[in-house]
Every structure is written in structure tokens, then in C-alpha cells.
Structure 1
């Protein structure tokens, strides 16, 4: 199978990051080509703002359109106030063979589904691009805005350190998170009460109906798989096919959020450990491979835990920047980010050298700076973040949605005071990521102004006519492969595809897996019940 090769690859930058019971319908049949239905009432399609499709190859931009669709603010009051959600559509390249829409939900929460449609040529093979309208969803959470001024937001976020260590740092970080939750309560309006993933799934079913489709094809990535799994279990009669990529553990996430966060920290730590072992085995091919990479990384982390380190030439390494870079290394979209993995190891070596110089009494600030890439960012936001003139910002990532949706879904204890002790304990288990994970969500959600009232907690095993395909990388950090295995096991009929690779997005990185996804989406051919294991197309070095 083939993939479009003439579309421009997006620039990799932006912060990181990462998702029912109903009646059954008649047995699903492989789809046959059908003409595109007329535009459904209620969806207003128009040309996209230039910023939204700026990374799309010019000869493909006429395939793109952006849409607006009103949905009830409160699905319990369908005739009441409405809100408008956004969509980005890449039309099927071969309309005569068109199957229908492929709805795409992305991660975060808060990352725009525009990423999937804009980058569809890098994610899907030609047969999928030819036969489906790829429609990226910008869920309702992206409408939440917690601050009434950019200055206030910058001030609060600037104090929300991700890995506070000292007592003063911890106190400041917790106070900033409390102020963040308060700001969301002050400025979130009635919307803040209706941000659950269940409501996003209900929105999706209204979109299905508005498109004139009795059944939909769904592709979900990372957090988006919670939307997908919820939809599959709420509306199984409307599911033609569904692919859940890099899935969350839906049950654990929505019922035992602290256990879920702890396992995410450990999964990310395990992925980093494996990556450092790969570096050691690569020897000279890895810039950080001389000696013991794991011991060297530990030495760097322990030194930065004591405070910032000058690298020379004005560059400074901190525990926060190291944690961000390490996170990026294990979640980077290897099929979409042209930056070689060794760039990050070279940067680690530069920091390690500075630690060694400092230990030898050398004045690092007087030295010429070593090359320092800017790797502590996520490609997830780069192509999706589309701020600019006009209404382009409506299709962009939204950081407030991260808390708005997670706090609506997850029953965290209302005890932010336990966070420092939790961070100390998790840090012993996951030295690089445990502390950051403890501070990530609990201290905000513990003080969130509204309690979860409309979250979906299962069951997750409602049967669909066609099996649901679950795809994951073996060495994914924030959504470990154990999550993919559990998701496949818990679904009514899940089929698992694993790629023996690092990273958080296996689409477009393994022809074996891509062939299986294409066959499933186009013809409903499913992998064997025992699962399919695929190799990546390229190695780390």
C-alpha cells in the first residue's frame, strides 16, 4: 500500500502533551462505494483560514474545508442553549469511490483534531485518503477559557512548576494551581458543568446524524480513544468501524484516577529506561552511549534536582527542562518529527559534560555553549496549533480543556494537601516522571469548582457488529502497551495490533500496521483474534 509523499511534513514544535450501553444493530457488511451525500443541514462548511492549513501542500488545499456545528450545551436539555463546535475536513480524493466520513478525535484533552485531518497524508495510506473524508473534531472542551486576560494567564501558568522540589517551590506551585481552578470557576460560565467526555461522544452522534450517516467510521488517538470507547459503548448500533490508537485505560482512568496516573508515570519511566538501554547497545552511534547512559542520566537528573545548571553561552538546564525533554523523547511522533533521536542524546551529553565540568571546578559560564536543540516540545501541537488572523484560533489547541475535561471525567479526591507526599512516593518508583505526574492533575482537579456529574464509567464491553481495532506501540510511555492490551480485552470484541517501537503515535511508522488499518477501514477486514505484532519501518539509528 502507498501513502501520499508530496504533502509537506509539519514542523515539530509546541508543548506536550494525551479518551454507554445501547442496542445492537444488524451485522455489518464491508462498505461499498457510494456517492457523497448532500451537505447535511446544520453543518456549515467554508474555506479554512489560511493558518489552519498552512502546512498542507498547496496542490491539496482545495480538499480542505472547515465546519461549524451547533450542539446542545446540556444534552439533558436538547432544546436549550447551544454551543458551536468546529471541524476540519479533508475530502476524499476519489469521490467516485468514497465510503463516507472518517471522524477523528485527537489527544490531550485539548489537542485539536485538526492535527489528524491536516496531517492525514502522513498518517494514512492512499486508499484511506481516496475513500474517506477525514474530519478532525475540535471537541467542546476547546471552548473553555479560564482567564479574562493574557497577563493573568501567563502569571498563573508561570508559577505552575511541573516538578517543584523545595518547600517554597511546592507551596508556590500548589497556590498557582488553586488560583488556576478559581479562575476557571470565575470565567468558565455554565459550560464548565458540561465538559465530560460523555458529552463529547453525544456531540459526535449528532454530527453523525447531521452527515446523514446511519453508521460512522471512527479513528481516535490517545485521550481521543476515551471519546471513541465511550461512543462505541453508548451508540454501538451506529458504529461501522473504530480504530483506537495509543489508547488510554478507560476503566482505570475514569474510576481510579490516581492509580491511572501512577501507572502512566511508571510506563513513561519504563520507556525511558528502554531508550537508554537502546543507546547503550548502539555504542558510538548514540552520542550519549559512552559509559553507562542510565547512570549518566541519573547523575544529570540528581544534579538538576539541586538547582539550575549553566551550560555556557547563556544556556541553562533545569530539572523542568530535563523532564520535558525526557518526556518528549519517549512520546515523540517518530513518523512525523524529522529530528533524529540522537539530537536529544547529544543534548543530554552536553548537559552531562557540564555536570562533569562543574564537578571539576570549571567555570561553565565562561565556556562556549554546546549545541542545544530545543527538544522539550511536542509535535502534537505544532501542526494542530493554528492561531492567527480571523477565526483560526477556533481550530487550535486549548490548554484549559486539559483540566476542564479531565476534572469532569475523573473522581479525584478533594485533598490537594496529599500531593507533596504522593510526589515523594511516586518519585521513588519513577525518579524522572513520578513527581511531575503527581503535580499534573490532582492539585487542580481536587479544587475544581464543579464535581464530576456526567462522566461515563462503563461498562466498556458492549458488542459492536464489527470488532474494534486497537493499535499501540510496545514502548509508548504515557499510554503503555498494557493499556492497549486492557482496552482490547475490555471491549466487546477488540482486536489488538502492536508495533515494536517507541513513541506515542504508531500510525505512519509501520507498513505492516498501516496495511492492517487500511484493510479494516476500507473493507472491515480484521486482524486475528490472537493479535498482530508489527515491526517499525525504521530503527532509532
Structure 2
């Protein structure tokens, strides 16, 4: 069964425990009546905001052959329910067994900035059959995103292109790149804080949670059923804490600690990455892959002929000193840099077969950068690396039209949701420190939020949610954490489960970003909970169906055979992602040049 979700697609944020963590805001303990613990209730303030909005009538129409679509106008500011509105797009795939339907299952793919309508449209490709039988699957494009009213921080594509110029690297690591990246970050932040208003100041996760509660009512459900991935775990936890008595079944997979995401008190002056430690999770996954390479042998892992850790480091050092330069008929002359290598490695780790991509590209780069190798061997290796570089550029290349707002939607949520340091000029030193702490990947994740510097991003959402994050929900929250997740550090799942008093942690020894769909054990446990509210046993640990170097993917074996038949034409170039992937409609989201969750 294909795995559901979001990638870095070059972009976003991840979460976990680490460093100085924000204190959990105090809240009244749930009352006890007759020895029974009573669920926290939705606050009076939130009830007044949301419940006075009339239940929208969704005028569904057939779309995409097997789905239904609708749009609805919702309050831009829930404190002014009769004021300005924003249009929100909704898509559903109806339950196959309407007579036995449980209700609607809301999905969110993460991001922030991922399209809920796209992941709902892809539901038949990755959700379990029983879930598809019993639930209408509903996806919502959050305000500002996708088919909803779009956030536009610039008046024209020309203005946007000029402002983005300094961001067109995987991440900055030279002094000149850092200077240009900071300047571009400030330009984007100021544009979103002016031209992007009022929508840029009304995109916080709390606003989306309020939208979801109104839409829950619109589809006729008394309580919410929800499955959220990656950043979608933040949306799920915000809903659980804002509307604790309105939860039927809530599952979060690839989990961010909301206190680390938000950053209360002094921790708000730290980088979000310093609080969440996504780089730590990615570094841990890479090191484990390289550790397992050696005993697997050279037939499974070409780095096994030496010290895999040292060989990866050698490639990184060579590329820092001398990037590879290529000539391409479509792109002209371009370079493959150290940042491109690390960005590719991180993107590969998002898929369960990422170990293969990392090992084989590293092996080709070793040869391509080895001055002692034969000219023919270097040329063959360079040809394979060039194919990867061209493929990456094709995936991330910006065209002049239409207006693409992926980076802006990511920032519209994160910069209004969370606390960040004041000065964008402080990011180079902070990112360097993060990379020293979490080699290779600390810098990637640190730079993801540079436009959020408070002196640059000045628009605010006065109604953002700041906690508490430890409310007792009507039904349990199932928290799924993956040991080797490169974007949402496993520690985030542990911390979130500890915060939520009525939750159950399900751990998985899985590879890639999120675990649903890559482990039959996890998929079965999630489906059982959604369908029957049956929780896995306490302390349950699943194992991913794909483990590094134990099985060669079919497409890799075919590539190996093709390589044996030809020289440069080889189709043996490592591929990004895994064949067990969602259709392009929900392929990894590339948010600007940063990493996404």
C-alpha cells in the first residue's frame, strides 16, 4: 500500500524535543465526578467564535471523475463573523458503503501549505479498504492554499521572482549566499506583511482549526475524525486542545511537539529548529543507514568497500571545495554543489527506499570527484550525477507563470503561529551552530524560517492559539512516531504523547517521513482506531516493511541491469522517492527552497 505523505519537498519544518523547551501553560486539571475523569470542554471564547457562524450548506458538484467538490465562504476573522470572508475549497471521496458509513474523515498532508483536497483525492491509493468503505474522506485546502483564496505577497510574478532570487539555492553555506539569502528573506517577509494582508495575518493554525470545526458541522458530524501527517500533527493537536470535547478519533503521524513549534517565553528567541531538532532526526537516520551499509556488503551497498561514514564525509568535503560543473542542452552550464548533495540526501530520506539513493549517489560522487580515477570512469560517474542534478532542477525549477505561492503559504502559517528571533541577520551564525550540533542537516532546517524574523515579518494574528496543549479529549489521540523520520524527530511524538493526558503513543522502527503505509503494523493499528476506536497496546512498537539493504527495490535491480548493458546511457541513476508513493497530486511539496513537513 502506498505511503501517504509529505516531503520536504524541499521545504518546511519538523519537530522534536531538544534544547530549552517551552514550559506548558498552566491549565485547570480536569474535574473528577464519581471517580471518573471528565473531558475538558471547548472554552467559552472558542464556542462564541465558532458556534455563532451559521452552518454552511456545501453545494457539492462532481469533480475528478470520482470525487465531489465545493467551496465555502468562512470568516476571515472569527471575532467578526459577519465581516470579511475568505473562500475555502473542500473535496470529498464518498464512502463506498454509505449504509454503514461512520462519518467523514478529514485529512491534512502537512506543509504547512500542503493541499488537503489533493491528498483526499489520492485517498483511494493509500488508505485501507475498510476506511474507504466506512468514511467519506474530506480534504480542505487551508486558507491561502491551493484552490482556496490564494495568498499573494507580491503584485506580480516579476516582483516575486526578483525578491526570491537570493533563495534559489538548496540552502546557503558561503558568505555571499548567506548575505543574499538574508536579503531575500527580509524582502519576502516585508511583502507578506504588507501586500499579503489581510490574508497573511489570518492563516494561523488556529484559524484553520476553526474552519475545520465549522466544516465538521457542515458535513453533518457531531465529532471530528481526523488523520494528519507531519505539520498536520500540529493542526490535529491544536484542534484537540481548542475543541477537546468534539473529538471522535484523531490520529497524528510524523509528530511535532506543539510547545517546540510555538516557542513560549525565552525559547521564542531561539530558532524553531533549535527547539524542534529536525536536523537531529535526519542525522540520526543517515548515520544508521551508513552503519547498516558495511555488514550488508558491496553487492547491496557500494560504500561497504570502505568506511561508509568516512566516504560520505569525503564527498561532502570535496564538493565544498570544488562543486561539479555540468553543461546541459536545456539548462546550460550549472553546478552540483555541497548544498545540492545534502538537499538530495535529505529528500531521499523522506522515502523508505532512501537508503538506496543515498548510498549509490554517494558512490557515484566519490568516483566523479576522484582525481586518481580514469577519465572514462569519472565521465561515466559524472553522467549519472548529472542526470540526478537535471531531474532535481526540473522538479524545482520556477517558471514565470503562473504565480506560485508555496513558500508564502508555508510562511503565512509558521511566521504567524510561532515565535522566532528578531533579526534575520542572526541566521548565519545560528544556522552554523545548528549544523555543528547536527551535522549536514542542522543548517538546512535552520534556514527554513529565516523570513520569520520578527523585525521582518511584522504582520500578526491576534487570535493565534498559544496553549494550553495538555487538554483531555473526549476520545484518545493516537500519536504515531517513527524512529528514523528525517523531518519530524521521533522525540516530538514522545513529547506530544506526554502532553496529551488521553493519548496513546505508537512507535515504529520505520524508514521515511511518517509511518502509515510503510508498515502494515502501523497501517492496521491506525485503521482499527479510526474504525472501532481500538487503541494499540501500551508500548507497542511496529517495524517498517522496508529495512535498509535487506531488499533491493525492483526498479533498482532493473537500473543495475541497464547499467551493465550501457555506459553513460545508464538508467541506473538513483531516483528520488520510492515507487511506493502517492500519485503526483500529493507528491512531496516543495516550499520555496526550504524543507517542509
- Report the TM-score, using the length of structure 2 for normalisation: 0.75
CA distance in 2, matches of 1:12, 1:493: 29
Partner of residue 330 from structure 1, selected from 336, 349, 354: 349
Q: Which residue of 1 aligns with 2:223?
A: 215
1:201 corresponds to which residue?
209
* 1:35 corresponding residue in structure 2: none
**Residue 123 (1) aligns with residue 126 (2):** yes
- Offset of 1:88 from its aligned partner? 2.0
Cα RMSD, aligned residues only: 3.3
**Mapped contact 1:324–1:376 kept (Cα < 8 A):** no
Task: Check 1:280–1:311 CA distance in 2 against 1; reply closer, same or farther (3 A cut).
Answer: farther
Q: Determine if contact 1:312/1:368 at 8 Å carries over to the other structure.
A: no
Please report how far the alpha carbon of residue 221 of structure 1 lies from its aligned counterpart in structure 2 after TM superposition: 0.8
Residues 497-532 of structure 1, C-alpha deviations (whole Å, 9 max, x = no match): 11101111211111111111111111111122x231
Distance 2:436 2:81 in 1: 49
Of 414-423 and 224-233, more deviation after overlay is shown by: 414-423
Partner of 2:383: 370
- Matched residue, 1:110: 113
Are the aligned partners of 1:113 and 1:137 in contact in 2 as well (CA < 8 Å)? yes
Residue 152 in 1 paired to residue 159 in 2? yes
Report how far residue 109 of structure 1 moved: 0.5
Looking at structure 1, the residues matched to 334 and 308 of structure 2 have their Cα atoms a distance apart, in angstroms, of 22
1:71 equivalent to 2:74? Answer: yes
Within the candidate set 318, 329, 335, 1:303 is matched to: 318
Distance 1:477 1:193 in 2: 30
Deviations 1:129-178 (CA, angstroms, capped at 9, x unpaired): 10001111211142312122223323333311343222222111111111
1:65-84 CA-partner distances (Å, limit 9, x unpaired) = 12212110001111111101
Q: State how far apart, in whole Å, the 1-side matches of 2:118 and 2:82 are.
A: 32
Residues 238-277 of structure 1 mapped to structure 2, 5 A cutoff? 238-255=246-263, 256=267, 258=270, 260-262=272-274, 263-277=277-291
1:397-451 superposed Cα distances (whole Å, 9 cap, x missing partner): 8331111110001111212221121122122112211222222203443310314
1:107–1:224 CA contact under 8 A, matched in 2 = yes
Give the deviation of 1:212 after TM superposition: 2.0
Range 141-150 or range 12-21, more displaced: 12-21
Q: CA deviation at 1:26?
A: 11
137-146 or 173-182, which moves further after superposition? 137-146
- Which residue of structure 2 lines up, in the alignment, with residue 354 of structure 1? 368
Distance 1:464 1:153, change over 3 A: same
Matched, 1:523 2:529: no
TM-score normalised by L of structure 1: 0.83
Q: Distance in 1 between matches of 2:5 and 2:471?
A: 38
Change (3 A) 1:71 1:376: farther
Q: Could you list the per-position Cα deviations for residues 40-79 of structure 1 after superposition, in whole angstroms to 9, with x for gaps in the alignment?
A: 743232233xxxx5xxxxxxx42x1122121100011111
Q: Deviations over 1:232-275 (max 9, x none)?
A: 11111111110011111111110135364131222221121112
1:318 aligns with 2:337: yes
Counterpart Cα distance in 2 of 1:363 and 1:417: 45
> How many aligned positions are there?
494
Q: How far apart are the structure 2 equivalents of 1:107 and 1:524? A: 24
Q: Which blocks of at least 5 consecutive residues in structure 1 are unaligned?
A: 28-39, 54-60
> Do the aligned partners of 2:170 and 2:343 also contact (CA within 8 Å) in 1?
no
Higher relative contact order (CA 8 A, sep 6+): 2
Query: Which residue does 2:489 correspond to in 1?
Result: 480
1:292 corresponds to: 307
Paired with 2:205 and 2:347, the residues of 1 have a C-alpha distance of 26
Alpha-carbon offset, residue 25 of structure 1: 6.2
Partners of 1:343 and 1:432 in 2: CA distance: 17
Q: Secondary structure at the match of 2:305?
A: coil
- Aligned 8 A contact 1:311 1:370 in 2: no
Query: Within 2, Cα distance between the matches of 1:455 and 1:271?
Result: 34
Aligned to 1:399: 407
Q: 1:15 and 1:253, CA in 2 relative to 1: closer, same or farther beyond 3 A?
A: closer
Q: Does the 8 Å CA contact 1:162/1:440 hold for their aligned counterparts?
A: no
Partner residue in 1 for 2:58? 43
**Equivalent residue, structure 2, for 1:448:** 457
CA distance 1:224–1:141, change in 2 (3 Å):
farther
2 CA distance for matches of 1:293 and 1:118?
41
Distance 1:18 1:95 in 2: 38
Please name the residue that 1:32 is paired with.
none
Q: Indicate the SS of the match to 1:77.
A: coil
Give the distance between the partners of 1:136 and 1:45, measured in 2 at CA: 13
Q: Please tell me whether the aligned partners of residues 13 and 445 of structure 2 are also in contact (alpha carbons under 8 angstroms).
A: no
Matched position secondary structure for 2:482: strand
Moved more, 404-413 or 148-157: 148-157
Gaps in structure 2 of 5+ consecutive residues: 15-24, 31-37, 42-54, 552-597
| Stretch moving more, 250-259 or 213-222 | 250-259
CA distance in 2, matches of 1:74, 1:236: 22
2:502 aligned with 1:489:
no
Secondary structure of the 1:68 match is strand
